[in-house]
Structure 1
Amino acid sequence: MSLLKRTAAVGAAVAVLSLVLAAPAAAHVSVSSASAVQGGYAKVTFRVPNESDEATTTKLEVNLPAGTPFASVSLKPIPGWTMAAEKTKLATPIESHGSPITEAVTKITWTASGDAAIKTGQFQEFDVSLGPLPKVDQVVFKALQTYSDGTIVRWIDEPTTDGTEPEKPAPVLKLAAATDTPAAAPGATVTATADDAKDTGGTSWTGIVGIGLGLVALIMGLLAYQRAGKSTAAAATPASTTSAE
């Protein structure tokens, strides 16, 4: 086998191995958010894929961290699914908008009814609005996924310190650091700047095109004037006579 063929074979093997190793990670219950900032409110989405070839996913339980409770938790209805938020009395009350909060939601349960269960090769997303988000780098949500055959997959393993992925990783939400500038101020500034840039850009291109056309017209005019001057001078010069005349 030539060196080129061996290299191609090794490359193909590595690619296949990478896909095999990546496949299980993509099937984990996960959580994401478009804007999760420390101290703010956010809509988070729990994505639940069905990993079974025979059973459907009929229930999802998500545990919210009791150490950093959320004062506000709202659930988005999903057709065919019932939902329940379980509250727990807090050992240490938290404050929200100047008022003490003595209990908070610590578990959310979604249960499928009828044909709404997550089937093989499908996934479902569950949206939750919550806040204020704690001032930490990440929040771990331990989740339990129940199948129609009674199997329960416990996605509860916390992130490792060495960066390796645990066998059943819990969904982890990364939080961005808060800034001192109000959130609305940068947005308004950026929007205004973007609009100004569009207007300025349009005017600049129009001006450039206008100047270019003007220069072309000027050059053509000068050339025409030059040609006309030469023609006039030639017509005004008398024909030369021979010495015999």
Structure 2
Amino acid sequence: MTAMPAFSHVLLETKTAPSGSNYKAVFQVGHGCEGSATTGITVRIPAGFQGAKPYPKAGWTLAVKQEKLAQPYASHGKPVTEDVSVVSWTAASQDAALPDAFFDDFMLRGKLPETAGPLWFKVLQTCASGSLDWGDVPAAGVSSKGLKFPALLLDVTGPETAAATDSAPAHAPGAHQH
């Protein structure tokens, strides 16, 4: 299997992480839509990813949508019945838009599920002209070969025993483990 070039679509900077850990998702945007500047990035949070907290971006407005959970979880000893389902960044002005020839990162963090397996982040890239919906998931398995607009795959592996593998410092927002 060959790696796709970094400019091919929106990518995850870190593609594997241990189950139950805190994860900083860095969505790398390497181009616009057929020459048009990127004006929005919308990330649909996969089931099992808990407590998503986005990083603000200068010149961009941030919106978070919450939904009721089918399977509530506990955080700080309290039940969580709603969680973030969508995070969106929108350029506040034409000047803030990401030109097609430029590269930038959009970030959020949260806690990974306790069980190993694939997590698919679906990302809608909106541009001054058109959009690209990186949301295709294979019918079976994890190979995105043949998909025109593949969702971003995070391979959640078995738990690590060393605390040093935790990708978030204990004082970071969303970094609490329970």
The separation in 2 between residues aligned to 1:160 and 1:90, in whole angstroms, is 24
Contact 1:49 1:118 in 2 (8 A): no
Correspondence for 1:108: 87
Q: Which residue of 1 aligns with 2:131?
A: 152
Count of residues in Structure 1 that have an aligned counterpart in Structure 2: 161
Structure 1 gap ranges (5+): 1-20, 186-245
The SS at the match of 1:141 is strand
Larger helix proportion of the pair? 1
1:51 Cα shift? 3.7
Give the whole-Å Cα distance in 1 for the aligned partners of 2:147 and 2:24. Answer: 26
**Alignment correspondent of 1:56:** 37
Any conservation in 2 of the 1:69–1:106 contact (CA below 8 Å)?
A: no
Equivalent position to 2:163, from 157, 171, 183: 183
Q: Quick one: structure 1 residues 26 and 49, their matched pair in 2 at CA, closer, same or farther if it must change by over 3 Å?
A: closer
Higher relative strand content? 2
Distance 2:118 2:72 in 1: 22
1:117 match: 97
Map Cα deviations across residues 114-148 of structure 1 (whole Å, 9 max, x no partner).
21211121122011111144422221011111111
The separation in 2 between residues aligned to 1:123 and 1:51, in whole angstroms, is 9
| 2:8 paired residue number | 27
Q: Cα offset for 1:159?
A: 3.5
Output the amino acid matched with 1:172: L
Task: Provide the C-alpha distance between the structure 2 equivalents of 1:152 and 1:52, rounded to a whole number of angstroms.
Answer: 6
> Which residue of the partner structure matches residue 229 of structure 1?
none
The answer to whether the aligner puts 1:141 opposite 2:121 as a matched pair is: yes
Bigger radius of gyration: 1
Measured in 2, the distance between the counterparts of 1:165 and 1:79 equals 36
**Is 1:43 aligned with 2:27?**
no
1:153-168 counterparts in 2 under 5 A? Answer: 153-159=132-138, 161=140, 163=143, 164-168=145-149
What's the C-alpha RMSD, in Å, of the aligned pairs? 2.6
1:59-116 Cα deviation digits (max 9, x unpaired): 0110012x3241x222212111111111101123122243210000000000012212
1:161 positional shift: 4.0
Contact kept in structure 2, 1:27 and 1:51, CA below 8 Å: no
Give 5+ residue unaligned stretches, structure 2: 166-178
Structure number with higher relative contact order (C-alpha < 8 Å, ≥ 6 residues apart): 2
**Alignment CA distance shift 1:152-1:53 (3 Å):** closer
Percent of pairs with identical residues: 31
Structure 1 residues 68 and 53 mapped into 2: Cα distance closer, same or farther (>3 Å)?
Answer: closer
Which whole-Å CA distance do the structure 1 matches of 2:15 and 2:154 have between them?
Answer: 11
